[in-house]
């Protein structure tokens, strides 16, 4: 069975170079290809970085400023050694200036470690050397972030830095008294309010450990196990490869930190199979992009943003996971129904069972790989996220020895340590750069000003405020990794919703959802473009298809922001069951209206009825639900009658 599955995978991926596609669409994968001593040096540094974080997770972290300075030291050194100055640069050697940048990274971080007590005693009055080191640190963070994730976040940070200096010359509410260079450097470099703020603090603890946890899971073969189980369970059904892609990408996305990386790695296998059964390239790429993007809002990991959300809101992580579960599953239900209806419209069948892995055998061979994933949620109930990740990594090591084919060897262990650290560089640099934004917002009070502007522009009404926040979230979310986009949005957009009475957790999940959906929202739909690259489709059309497939994601946040029943906040068991059941029916109705198909092709008035009914059903209100149920019953009945007549005509012909 394993040989047959390998032949299937080889046949559909032979013309797809995953590394090339990742480098093309995901800046964080555009790394140098070093050999010899330099490659060994980078590997050793990465392994040492992981060992340092494992040690502090198990034995206890240092003081916040020191822990974050050590973390940033590794990030700056590895970042400049791994990432070239541009995509066109020679990737087989490291130029002299990157050695200088790496050395400067060591200098600005060890300066904090060595002079920690002196910095505290100076108490906000930096000397000339402090200012110089601070300026260098800010420039290094901006540059390593540009190299590792692209120019968007550094440009935003530079705009915020300019705002500090230009404040006295700006009109109206945006104006402020201005701040000296010494005050700005003190805020951004010498306190835990800027570069070394909460975003980098979370990266230096929870986020790094969960990225490392993902690397340990990957070397046990859990990724291929997810794909095999998904295809064994759904591959033979109507439109099977697309449904399997949704399942596999959801599984992978829940532990992945990147929509684009998830799209490319799973899409290299799933997209060719979707095309093989008849899906058009634009739709096949869109399915993978929509499913992979949804993984960033699917517990337990949620692209690491949930850990930062917990720190920003002081809401326990496990509560965020519980609240995020139902909306995320509704999103995936919407994508799955859309895929099913598209297959029904085109008459697409699945892959023959004899060409697929056997579900029982596949699950039996790899079910033990799920133990760490289940256990991490259990650990989170009892321990801090840092300890939960630490224990989960140890458990993944132990569990891998249950079967010979998943057993982690010493070289695999070293690879996992190296891979985890290298993956963390782009996330950590984004967190440090986002810390610049957070620090300036804290210094100037811009967050409250921005929130007041949104509320004022919306006339103090909730729905217009939600709409404007959605637009701001999508725009700010374009081109940024999940953690960075959440940090920016939590600082700038969430306060406007909280000001109008939206529950804190609902406000933060609202901006996270729309920040993530930006990955499949044209004109900058990076996950969709990656899917189009693999499928050989048109980027913009693939983006529109991905937006259509994930369109339920535009409704759900509005619903839980207005009435947080779907977040399971202050609800009884019966209320939760009713809300979830009617929301599921609403998603089916919405998909039918968008796709123009239920049991057969819909009439225009049926589509309108389906969509209106969906809006009523998803809203968690008993009276509204009854109206929605009555409205959805009509087009369903008409579809059923017409479908029976069509089948009768076909059988008689």
Alpha carbons 486 and 474: distance in angstroms, whole number: 11
Amino acid 432: pLDDT: 93
Average pLDDT over residues 374-388: 84
**Is residue 527 within 8 Å of residue 260, measured between CB atoms?**
yes
Alpha carbons 328 and 334: distance in angstroms, whole number: 10
Average pLDDT over residues 201-210: 89
Length of the chain (residues): 653
Average pLDDT over residues 179-185: 91
Name, in order, each residue with C-beta under 8 angstroms of 219's C-beta and a sequence gap of 6 or more. 400, 408, 412, 415, 416, 419
> Band of the pLDDT at 12, cuts 50, 70, 90?
very low
| Portion of the chain with pLDDT greater than 90, in percent | 31
Residue 489 confidence (pLDDT) above 50:
yes
> Band of the pLDDT at 278, cuts 50, 70, 90?
confident
Residue with tokens 């490291």: 94
Q: How far is CA 76 from CA 30, 85, 99, 113, 210, in A?
A: 16, 14, 11, 15, 20
Average pLDDT over residues 485-504: 87
Residue 386 confidence (pLDDT) above 60:
yes
Amino acid 189: pLDDT: 93
> Is cis: bond before 300, omega within 30 of 0?
yes
pLDDT tens-digit profile of 319-370? 898 899 999 999 999 999 999 998 888 888 888 888 788 888 888 888 888 8
Alpha carbons 450 and 455: distance in angstroms, whole number: 9
Residue 217 confidence (pLDDT) above 70:
yes
> Band of the pLDDT at 27, cuts 50, 70, 90?
low
**3 state DSSP class of 601:** strand
Amino acid 463: pLDDT: 86
> Band of the pLDDT at 23, cuts 50, 70, 90?
low
What does the DSSP assignment read for 539-557?
HHHHHHHHHHHTTHHHHHH
Amino acid 18: pLDDT: 63
User: Can you give the pTM of this predicted structure?
Assistant: 0.84
Quick one: tokens of 25?
A: 């669409």
Residue 122 confidence (pLDDT) above 80:
no
Residue ranges in 254-316 assigned as alpha helix (H): 259-276, 281-294, 305-313
Contacts 24+ apart (CB under 8 A), 19-24: 21/264, 21/268, 21/530, 21/533, 21/534, 22/260, 22/261, 22/264, 22/265, 23/87, 24/530, 24/533
Residue ranges in 383-525 assigned as alpha helix (H): 385-400, 410-444, 446-457, 462-477, 482-492, 494-499, 504-517
Residue 9 confidence (pLDDT) above 70:
no
The overall average pLDDT reported for the chain is 86
Range with the largest mean pLDDT of 113-122, 192-201, 239-248, 489-498: 192-201
Quick one: tokens of 433?
A: 């750069």
Amino acid 607: pLDDT: 92
Alpha carbons 592 and 35: distance in angstroms, whole number: 54
Amino acid 10: pLDDT: 47
> Band of the pLDDT at 1, cuts 50, 70, 90?
very low
Range with the largest mean pLDDT of 81-95, 101-115, 279-293: 101-115
Alpha carbons 390 and 574: distance in angstroms, whole number: 37
> Band of the pLDDT at 5, cuts 50, 70, 90?
very low
Alpha carbons 426 and 414: distance in angstroms, whole number: 20
More confident residue, 271 or 98: 98
**Is residue 546 within 8 Å of residue 529, measured between CB atoms?**
no
Alpha carbons 596 and 515: distance in angstroms, whole number: 28
What's the distance, Cα to Cα, between the start and end of the chain in Å? Answer: 42
> Band of the pLDDT at 653, cuts 50, 70, 90?
low
Residue ranges in 83-123 assigned as alpha helix (H): 96-114, 116-122
Amino acid 256: pLDDT: 66
**Is residue 513 within 8 Å of residue 556, measured between CB atoms?**
yes
pLDDT tens-digit profile of 506-552? 999 999 888 888 888 887 778 888 888 888 888 889 989 998 988 88
Quick one: tokens of 153?
A: 């976040």
Count other C-beta atoms under 10 Å from residue 356's C-beta: 23
Average pLDDT over residues 267-284: 85
Average pLDDT over residues 207-215: 88
């Amino acid at each position: 069975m394993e040989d047959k599955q390998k032949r299937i995978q080889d046949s559909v991926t032979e013309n797809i170079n995953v590394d090339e596609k990742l480098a093309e669409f995901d800046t964080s994968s555009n790394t140098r290809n070093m050999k010899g001593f330099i490659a060994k040096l980078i590997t050793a540094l990465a392994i040492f970085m992981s060992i340092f974080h494992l040690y502090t997770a198990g034995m206890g972290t240092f003081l916040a400023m020191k822990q974050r300075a050590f973390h940033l030291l590794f990030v700056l050194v590895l970042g400049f050694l791994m990432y070239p100055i541009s995509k066109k640069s020679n990737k087989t050697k490291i130029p002299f200036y990157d050695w200088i940048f790496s050395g400067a990274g060591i200098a600005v971080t060890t300066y904090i470690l060595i002079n920690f007590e002196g910095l505290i005693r100076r108490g906000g009055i930096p000397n000339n050397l402090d200012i110089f080191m601070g300026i260098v640190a800010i420039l290094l963070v901006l540059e390593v972030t540009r190299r590792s994730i692209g120019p968007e976040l550094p440009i935003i940070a530079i705009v915020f830095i300019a705002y500090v200096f230009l404040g006295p010359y700006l009109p109206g509410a945006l104006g402020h008294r201005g701040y000296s260079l010494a005050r700005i450097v003190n805020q951004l470099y010498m306190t835990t309010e800027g570069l070394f703020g909460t975003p980098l603090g979370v990266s230096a603890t929870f986020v790094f450990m969960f990225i490392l946890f993902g690397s340990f899971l990957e070397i046990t073969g859990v990724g291929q196990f997810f794909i095999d189980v998904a295809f064994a369970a759904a591959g033979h059904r109507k439109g099977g490869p697309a449904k399997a892609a949704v399942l596999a990408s959801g599984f992978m996305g829940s532990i992945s930190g990147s929509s684009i990386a998830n799209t490319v790695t799973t899409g290299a296998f799933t997209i060719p199979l979707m095309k093989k059964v008849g899906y058009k390239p634009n739709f096949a790429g869109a399915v993978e992009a929509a499913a992979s993007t949804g993984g960033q809002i699917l517990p337990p990991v949620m692209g690491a943003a949930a850990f930062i959300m917990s720190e920003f809101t002081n809401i326990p992580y496990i509560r965020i996971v519980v609240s995020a579960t139902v909306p995320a599953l509704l999103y995936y239900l919407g994508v799955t129904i859309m895929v099913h209806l598209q297959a029904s419209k085109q008459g697409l069948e699945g892959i023959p069972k004899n060409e697929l892995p056997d579900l029982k055998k596949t699950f039996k061979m790899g079910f033990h790989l799920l133990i760490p994933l289940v256990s991490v949620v259990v650990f989170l109930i009892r321990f801090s996220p840092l300890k939960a990740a630490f224990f989960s990594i140890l458990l993944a090591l132990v569990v891998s020895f249950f079967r010979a084919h998943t057993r982690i060897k010493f070289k695999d262990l070293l690879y996992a340590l190296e891979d985890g650290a290298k993956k963390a560089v782009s996330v950590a640099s984004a967190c440090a750069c986002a810390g610049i934004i957070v620090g300036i917002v804290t210094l100037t009070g811009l967050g409250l000003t921005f929130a007041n502007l949104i509320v004022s522009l919306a006339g103090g009404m909730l729905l217009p405020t939600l709409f404007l926040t959605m637009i701001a979230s999508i725009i700010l979310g374009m081109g940024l990794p999940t953690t960075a986009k959440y940090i920016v949005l939590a600082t700038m957009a969430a306060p406007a919703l909280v000001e109008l009475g939206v529950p804190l957790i609902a406000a933060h999940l609202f901006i996270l959802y729309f920040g993530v959906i930006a990955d499949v929202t044209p004109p900058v739909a990076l996950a969709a473009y990656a899917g189009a690259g693999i499928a050989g489709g048109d980027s913009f059309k693939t983006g529109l298809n991905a937006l259509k497939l994930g369109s339920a994601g535009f409704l759900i946040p509005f619903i839980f922001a207005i009435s947080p029943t779907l977040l399971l906040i202050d609800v009884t068991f019966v209320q939760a069951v009713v809300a979830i059941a009617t929301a599921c029916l609403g998603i089916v109705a919405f998909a039918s209206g968008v796709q123009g198909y239920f049991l057969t092709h819909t009439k225009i008035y049926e589509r309108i009825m389906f969509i209106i009914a969906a809006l009523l059903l998803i809203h968690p209100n008993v009276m509204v639900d009854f109206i929605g149920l009555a409205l959805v019953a009509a087009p369903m009945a008409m579809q059923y009658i017409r479908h029976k007549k069509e089948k009768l005509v076909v059988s008689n012909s």
